[in-house]
């Protein structure tokens, strides 16, 4: 038995080949006419879609602001009506100072968290409405 002769290196440079699916050249199925196209074309229906989103966001922002400012605004009124509350001490601070300095931060953080959560939910619902076929 003879041994095969040693292989010589190929003088041609190596060539890279890109392999793709044969479906990439197939025509894509047309997507149904969606609301995003209406918004992009700035049609009357697209304007109605945008007005509803803006109205929902405005209503949410005003309601959160009203609740937060109302809660903070009622504190001085509460202490003016009932001055006995001002005599209570919590952690060495008077109740009015404790509520204004310590308790408002978590309340404002909670209001901000609630606003962001509801705003994202309304945007998600809007996107589902617009993308619906």
CA 66, 101, 104: angle at the middle one, nearest 5?
30
Q: What is the pLDDT of residues 112-127, one digit of tens each?
A: 999 999 999 999 988 8
Q: What is the pLDDT of residues 22-44, one digit of tens each?
A: 666 666 665 555 666 667 667 77
pTM, two decimal places? 0.62
Output phi, psi for 90, to 5 deg. Answer: -130, 120
How far lies 125's CA from each of 35, 46, 58, 106, 121, in Å? Answer: 13, 16, 16, 28, 6
Q: What is the pLDDT of residues 59-103, one digit of tens each?
A: 999 999 999 999 888 888 888 888 887 778 888 878 888 888 888
Q: What is the pLDDT of residues 7-22, one digit of tens each?
A: 776 667 777 777 666 6
């Amino acid at each position: 038995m003879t041994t095969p002769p040693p292989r010589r290196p190929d003088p041609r440079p190596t060539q890279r080949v890109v392999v793709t699916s044969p479906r990439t050249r197939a025509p894509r199925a047309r997507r149904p006419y969606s609301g995003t196209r209406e918004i992009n074309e700035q049609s009357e229906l697209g304007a109605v879609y945008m007005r509803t989103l803006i109205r929902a966001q405005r209503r949410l922002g005003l309601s959160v602001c009203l609740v937060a400012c109302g809660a903070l605004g009622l504190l001085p009124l509460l202490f003016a009506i009932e001055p006995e509350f001002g005599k209570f001490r919590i952690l060495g601070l008077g109740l009015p100072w404790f509520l204004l300095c310590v308790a408002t931060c978590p309340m404002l953080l909670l209001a901000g968290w609630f606003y962001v959560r509801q705003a994202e939910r309304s945007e998600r619902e809007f996107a589902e409405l617009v993308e619906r076929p």
